[in-house]
Amino acid sequence: MAADRLERSGLNRAWIEATAALPLGWHLDGLTCASTGLAPEQRSDRWRAWAVGPKGEKVKAEDDGPIAALHALARELRPLRGSKSG
């Protein structure tokens, strides 16, 4: 996907927001569709985003689309910024 399309979709902005919410030493580790396979019963319209901490800690969030999943992850991460997790 071209950069201008990512910007128009809001995906760049959502990724930046999630990155800004990361505690020190953490990194965004993924964003993927929640499907577990190609069979109809394994397909999902949900998306998952996750971040990993310096000691292997993981925070995950899921929502109805990639942008919403990144926003949900940012909400989960913000409280950790002031803790000793990072």
Output the tens digit of pLDDT for each of the chain's 86 residues: 566 665 667 899 999 999 999 999 999 999 999 998 889 999 999 999 999 999 999 999 999 999 999 999 999 999 988 765 44
First-to-final CA distance of the chain: 32
Count Cα neighbours of 76 within 13 Å in the Cβ-side half-sphere: 18
Angle, in degrees to the nearest 10, between helices 66-77 and 11-20: 10
What is the total count of domains within the chain? Answer: 1
Cα–chain-centroid distance for residue 54?
Answer: 17
Q: Is the whole-model pTM more than 0.85?
A: no
The CATH number covering residue 29 comes to 3.30.160
Residue range of the domain that includes 21 = 3-82
